[in-house]
Amino acid sequence: MSQPDPIEQDFLEALQRLVEGKPQNKTLKASAKAGKLKINAVSVAREAGRSRTLIALENCRYPKVREAVKLAQGGKKSLPTTYTQLIENLRADLASVKAERHLLETKMADHVLARRKAEVSARRDAAEASRLRKLVVEFEKVVHLPQKETVLPRLVLIRGLPGSGKSTKANGYREDGYQRFESDRFFESEDGYVFDETKLPQAHAWCLDQTRKALADGEYVVVANVFATEQDVQPYVDLGFDYQIIDATHKGKSIHQVPADVVKRTKAIWVPTEELLKKITTKSEKVVRAKVTSIHSSRKDKE
């Protein structure tokens, strides 16, 4: 023999207490004492400590309880015997459904409103967190100021052939609060690094655009690219910020496995840094500070 549903049992026991006029709920006790106790789905659910939607709707979870409540209300079989009773029952059911619908719509509206408030609050918190992160970065830049310099360059350009230690040097600048960009990141995906020479123009355009946005947001930026000629460097100089050029010279092996023919063509057009600086023109009205630093990385350094 199957065990009775405990929730259904709660409802039936609550109904029995209301029929006997002995409710346990504090509010219903007061109603009974005042002679105003009513037996309906709401009072039964309150006495049972359960949701009234379980017994109030036509297609509710516990139809037997709903039927028992109706019988307790009228003392007769709830099925209509005349068209008038049928219409009255239908109107009562419709009113109950409308009431439940209104209740659900109200709860849904409250939920949507609460969610929108939470989203607005989350956006504000994210904006404040971003502002504080930038403030921390600015403080870190002050703390890490070189002893011989009073101002860090806003833009650092690290140039060199594949395997020359550009990425290793760029990582050192990230510790000083710099945002790091390089065209090679354009070829990174979930499948790993996939170099496509035909997409090099897109990669360089992406890198330049990321640098421009970061500088506009007040960030300090380090860019590690090949920068073989002055045409490669000039777009970054034209951004109009103080810059520094770092010449990476470590003779290592590229971790990105750039094809040998690409490396060979790059070497053929390579312009030495001193000559490159003479060819660069500055369009900005700002005083541009350009320095050349050679990096002699250890054998353990990788790009």
pLDDT tens digits for range 142-190:
555 544 444 788 899 888 877 777 878 878 787 778 888 888 777 776 6
236 CB-near residues (< 8 Å, 6+ apart): 155, 157, 208, 211, 223, 243
Q: Are strands 188-189 and 292-295 parallel, antiparallel or unpaired?
A: unpaired
Is the distance from CB of 12 to CB of 51 less than 8 angstroms?
A: no
Q: What tokens does 64 get?
A: 């037997």
Burial of 270 (0-12, 13-18, 19+ CB in 10 A): middle
| Confidence (pLDDT) at 74 | 65
| Confidence (pLDDT) at 79 | 54
Alpha carbons 227 and 157: distance in angstroms, whole number: 8
- Those residues of the chain that have pLDDT short of 70 are 1-4, 74-83, 85-86, 89, 96, 140-150, 189-193, 251-259, 281-303
156 pairs with which residues across the strands?
222, 244
| Confidence (pLDDT) at 148 | 47
Q: Are strands 179-181 and 221-224 parallel, antiparallel or unpaired?
A: parallel
Detail the DSSP E strand segments found in the chain. Answer: 155-159, 179-181, 188-189, 192-193, 221-224, 243-248, 292-295
| Confidence (pLDDT) at 257 | 62
Identify the H or E element spanning 99: helix 83-143
Backbone angles phi, psi at 243, to 5 degrees: -135, 160
Which pTM does this prediction carry?
Answer: 0.44
| Confidence (pLDDT) at 297 | 41
Is the distance from CB of 188 to CB of 199 less than 8 angstroms?
A: no
| Confidence (pLDDT) at 2 | 54
